[in-house]
Chains A and B, each alone.
Chain A
Amino acid sequence: MDEAFQIEAQALAQVLDELDYFQVLKIGQNASPPEIKAAYYRESRAYHPDRFSTLPQSELKEMIGRIYKRINEAYVCLREDVKRAKYLADILGPERQKKLRFVEASEQEMKKEKEQEVGATPQGRKFYMAGLADMAAQRFAAAERNFKMALTYEPNNPNFKAKRDEAGKLIKNDMSIR
């Protein structure tokens, strides 16, 4: 392996956790999609683990593996316009250092979405689940009561509200049939 590359890889591995994805792929923050892809190919040619397959396991090989995984991580984020825009806003913001790796941030968002779905508080979740069970059994009035209870714990949960309204409508339909 040539020495210049070894030095480069070592230097890169050392600062890897301080780089944003644009820096990992060595591109500007306004790079176009074809430029992102070209950069990904260029870095793959340099750091793809297959290039080093016959070398014995070593610290350097591990470093290269770590770098390449980060290159893939960067590409996955930047190749998608929506993710990329969010990521760019993240790293330009005050919490740049914490948001260099998109996965952590998206994890938080996913969690939030999920909480909105089934509830962020144990009591809210409990009444929400009870409401769902009532809906399944077509006990719409009971369902509405449970969703209303759930809302007292999480007044701003949009999913709870939607379910309460849905139950309310079904009660009316139910009445009209009778």
Chain B
Amino acid sequence: MAEPGDIAIGIDLGTSYSCVSILENGQTSVIPNEWGERTHASVVSFLEDGTVLVGNSAKRNIITNADNTVYSAKRLIGRFYFSDEVKKAQAVMPYKIIEGENNSVRIQIRENVYSLPEISALVLKEMKSIVENYLGHEVKKAVVTVPAYFNDNQRQATKDAGRIAGLEVLRILNEPTAAALAYGFGKDITQKIAVYDLGGGTFDISILEIGKDVFEVLSTAGDTYLGGDDFDDRIMTWLAEGFLKQHGIDLRLNKYCLQMLKEASERAKIDVGRDGVAKIHVEGICQDPTGKVMDLDAQLTEAEFNRMVMDLVQRTFKVCDEALQSAKMTAQDLDAVILVGGPTRLPIIRTSVKHYFGKDVMAGIDPDEVVAMGAAIQAHSLMEAKGDGAASGAHYLLDVTPLTLRVGTVGGYTDKIIDKNTPIPIERSKSYTTNRDGQEKVKIRVYQGESNKASDCEMLGEFEFSGFRIGYRGEVRIEVTFEIDTNGIVNVTAADVETGQKTSCTIRLSSGLTEDMIKAATEKNARTTLARGEAAA
């Protein structure tokens, strides 16, 4: 039962920036930190004295404390060490990315090793503490958002991050769904809408049908390798190549120069979007062979910028095509288009989106805050629900699973179990028989993805079932049940068909953390002191 003052917060845990919101007296509000900042860089800087700095002041440390400052952790969370994304990150990130057990990814800071959920948990801890400072009491529950296109590993890892931060995660909520909720909440409208969500590191598109109290996701599609960072990269390449041509020095070869270049590129992207032109000036970016300090100077026009990123913008529309097709709709069927994510402030995005959908984008929605606000609304409603007759103001999110769930078969192929865009929660069972006399174990590999080849899908894990009857081959049948819960997280259980006896399951291969690891990490997180930085200049 909810105690007075018991509140659940909504957290948008972004690749570049995070935001936290609560619903109070029927109103959602974004909670600023002590310096009035409403969004906070998802950057964690480990200081010499053992304290940890999180947010915009930590972001300034990317250059000065590069080895010990972690950013864009969301790009790595829930990934295997052998994945391309991790290799790419190792090449450009100044912090040390190492391999942990079971092909997992770890970050090494001085002599300490952190899992990705532990890093994200520090960002969540900061969000939690911002609200606690504001309310003057402890907060224990939260709804945390993820890109709709996140797979099970990434969702599970994000949920673990919440637990490590001392939060009961009431729901892992899809970002576009959260945005749609914030848009339609209390409005009493019936519309078909598209949510175009271009974040720092990921792109999502969701098509929804919203009514007074029901928000039905018809389809979702995405690209977890496409975001505002990629726009920065284009500017970076352009700057670096210009500098190379002019001075014969490749700034990308030095991680320190690379960070200055990255920072300048991000600023240039924002400037060019706002002012139509960006003047780039970085003092003392490097030294020439004689030791002379050199500056970087360049000017980026909007036309030039648009040319650089046009293919990235086009890529988002390929994904939009896919989502519309899955929803059996065309752009004309939509009543409204909502833009979410910082990069959607760029004129190139706004005009291209307008052109693609053939309609103006919704005005009056803050692309940086709307997701956190939707999360706060959902958090509030999950705290209120007591199973009474439909309470006034209650709403229902009917969300879907973004990826097809599959099991591995012989020869490196997979079989479909649950199609993408199937409403969740859902379950499906599949029977297996033993193929050897006296067989004691059945192994099942579970994948998510759109190819029938296992190697093109993301592996979620290998489950081993035992504890069923022992018999001749083909005699023992076990029924394996695959469930996707309301968080989009996959659970696998098995039972002996004849006896109904549940079998025990061991997860043999998974990028996830064990219960013991989470426990230890939670204690470590609780002991960690958050340093207070200073207000932005």
Contact = CB atoms under 8 A, between A and B. Distances in A.
Nearest to B385: A53
A39 to B, nearest CB: 12
Given A50-B381, A76-B426, A110-B416, A55 B396 contact: no
Nearest to B397: A50
Given A68-B425, A72-B422, A107-B430, A54 B386 contact: yes
A1 B387 contact: yes
A122 B385 CA distance: 55
Contacts, number: 73
A54 B396 contact: no
Contact of B424 (A5, A44, A72): A72
Interface string A50-62: 1111110000000
Interface of B: 1-2, 170, 211, 213-214, 216, 381-390, 394, 396-398, 415-416, 419, 422-430, 483, 486
Contact of B387 (A45, A52, A65): A52
Nearest to A64: B387
14 contacts: A1-B388, A44-B398, A50-B397, A52-B385, A52-B387, A53-B383, A53-B385, A54-B2, A54-B383, A72-B424, A72-B425, A73-B427, A103-B428, A103-B429
A75 interface: yes
A178 to B, nearest CB: 35
Contact of B170 (A44, A52, A53, A75): A53
A69 interface: yes
A54 B384 contact: yes
A145 interface: no
Contact of A75 (B416, B423, B425, B429): B423
Interface of A: 1-2, 5, 41, 44-45, 48-55, 65, 68-69, 72-73, 75-76, 103, 107, 110, 114
Nearest to A73: B426
Contacts of A73: 426-428
Contacts of A49: 425, 486
B422 A50 contact: no
B214 A54 contact: no
B525 to A, nearest CB: 25
A49 B398 CA distance: 11
B450 to A, nearest CB: 15
Given A72-B422, A76-B426, A54 B385 contact: yes
Nearest to A1: B387
Contact of A110 (B381, B385, B415, B425): B415
Given A69-B426, A103-B428, 4 more contacts: A44-B398, A51-B396, A72-B425, A73-B427
A50 B426 contact: no
A2 B388 contact: yes
A48 B430 CA distance: 25
Nearest to B381: A50
A125 B355 CA distance: 50
A54 B384 CA distance: 7
A41 B397 CA distance: 10
